[in-house]
Amino acid sequence: MSGRTTTSHNPDPEAIAPGNPVEDLAEGTAQVLAKPRMRGWIHFYAAWLAIVCGATLVSVSWPVASTRAGLTTFAYALSTVAMFAVSATYHRVNWKSARSRNLMKRLDHSMIFVFIAGSYTPFAMLAMPPADGRLVLWIVWGGALAGIALKVCWPTAPRWVGVPLYLLLGWVAVWYAPTIIHVAGVAAMVLLAVGGAFYSIGGLLYGLRWPDPWPTTFGYHEFFHALTAIAAILHYIAMWLAVFYVGHPA
């Protein structure tokens, strides 16, 4: 493709915004400024793991639990694979074209909102009373669409605008903790809470750009990606409990 090259040298893509007057200068120094060698690899492997784990969850949920369980876990699995795959593609490829890079940046940030909403879908449909579940779906998917619109229409928005929105959507489950505990069990709620804490800590590290102990190998962004991968594993386990826990509402 004419818009990309396979070299691994590039300034931090997050620091370059469309229309920034220093973008041309940044492009000129792209060959001498190295991004961490691990940039994107964590989510690359996470994407493949998500394919295997997601396929397993859906293939078991559909025939054993219910069609609704199969459909909702499919939405969850698809959003998880898409988020990790887009992130890996964006961060591994050195986008030689500014237009291609900025397009992928918007898509990468937008997929986080899709992932959050997709992760809520099985819990809303399987581990909550119908009225509460529908309300949660409206909140998280409406918030996701608003977040995507923000990233598309205001791609240069500062981090303090986007990160809090991720966190607010991610912690909607707190308001329904008693219901989730009653329907899906204490273990599921604990996994959701701990996973949410990992996501939140990762988001804060991303916003602060800290810590950055090994800038050429494993920087602050890699800490963020590592924490999101760990959180995704915890939430994946919680999905099994949401599907098969005996306390499901009729």
pLDDT tens-place string over residues 9-29: 444 445 444 445 444 344 434
Residue 1 lies inside a defined structural domain of this protein: no
Residue 39 phi/psi, 5-degree rounding, is -60, 120
Residue 156 lies inside a defined structural domain of this protein: yes
Lowest mean pLDDT among 16-25, 52-61, 137-146, 199-208: 16-25
- Within a 10 A sphere around the Cβ of 57, how many other Cβ atoms? 22
Please state the rounded mean pLDDT for residues 109-122: 96
Residues that constitute the known binding site: 91, 221, 225
pLDDT-derived band at 159 (thresholds 50, 70, 90) equals confident
pLDDT at 87 over 60: yes
- DSSP assignment of 122-139 equals HHHHHSS-HHHHHHHHHH
What gap in Å lies between CA 152 and CA 82, rounded to an integer?
A: 18
Residue 228 lies inside a defined structural domain of this protein: yes
Domain CATH code at residue 85: 1.20.1070
Residues that constitute the known binding site for Zn(2+): 91, 221, 225
Residue 129 lies inside a defined structural domain of this protein: yes
Model pLDDT for residues 162-199, shown as the tens digit of each residue: 888 888 999 999 999 999 998 899 999 999 999 999 99
CA 14, 20, 26 angle in degrees (round to 5)? 65
Please state the rounded mean pLDDT for residues 33-42: 89
The b/e string for 172-206 (b: 16+ C-beta within 10 A; e otherwise) is: bbeebeebbbebbbeebbebbbebbebbbebbebb
Task: Please tell me the total count of domains within the chain.
Answer: 1
Residue 13 lies inside a defined structural domain of this protein: no
Closest of 114, 113, 93 to residue 104, by C-alpha: 93
Q: End-to-end CA distance of the chain: give it in Å, rounded.
A: 52
Tally of residues, the chain: 250
Which residue range is the domain that position 45 belongs to? Answer: 37-244
Residue 51 lies inside a defined structural domain of this protein: yes
Residue 12 lies inside a defined structural domain of this protein: no
Model pLDDT for residues 57-75, shown as the tens digit of each residue: 999 999 999 999 999 999 9
What gap in Å lies between CA 113 and CA 119, rounded to an integer?
A: 10
pLDDT-derived band at 81 (thresholds 50, 70, 90) equals very high
